[in-house]
Amino acid sequence: MFDFSPFYGKMDLVFVDASHAYEAVLNDSLQAFKLISDTGIIVWDDYDPIHGLGVMRALAEIAMHKSVVWIKGTRFGVHEPGLKVKI
C-alpha cells in the first residue's frame, strides 16, 4: 500500500478517478482531503447517474460537511476552499 503521508497538505490538485463504489469513493475522498493544501482543489470524475451512483451518493454525503459543486455540463464534481454552493 502506498504511503501518502509525505504529501499531506502539499497538493494543489487531486484528481479522484477510481472505483465507483460508495465506500471506495469515501476512502479516496478522505485521502484527497488530507493531501490538498489550504488552497488545494479536488476533482472527482464520473459524478453522474449513468457512471457513478456510488460517486454521487458519497459526494452528496461529503457535501453536508464540505463544499462540493458539480461543473455544469460535465461529469465532474469539485471541491475548492471558499466555495459556498453545494451539490
How far apart are alpha carbons 79 and 6 in whole angstroms? 22
pTM of the model: 0.87
The 10s digit of each residue's pLDDT in 1-16 is 889 999 999 999 999 9
DSSP string, 38-72: EEEEEEES--STTT-HHHHHHHHHHTTTS--EE-T
How far apart are alpha carbons 87 and 76 in whole angstroms? 11
The 10s digit of each residue's pLDDT in 8-63 is 999 999 999 988 999 999 999 999 999 999 999 999 999 888 877 899 999 999 99
Contact by Cβ (8 Å): 14, 36: yes
The structural domains of the chain, ordered by start, are: 11-79 (3.40.50.150)
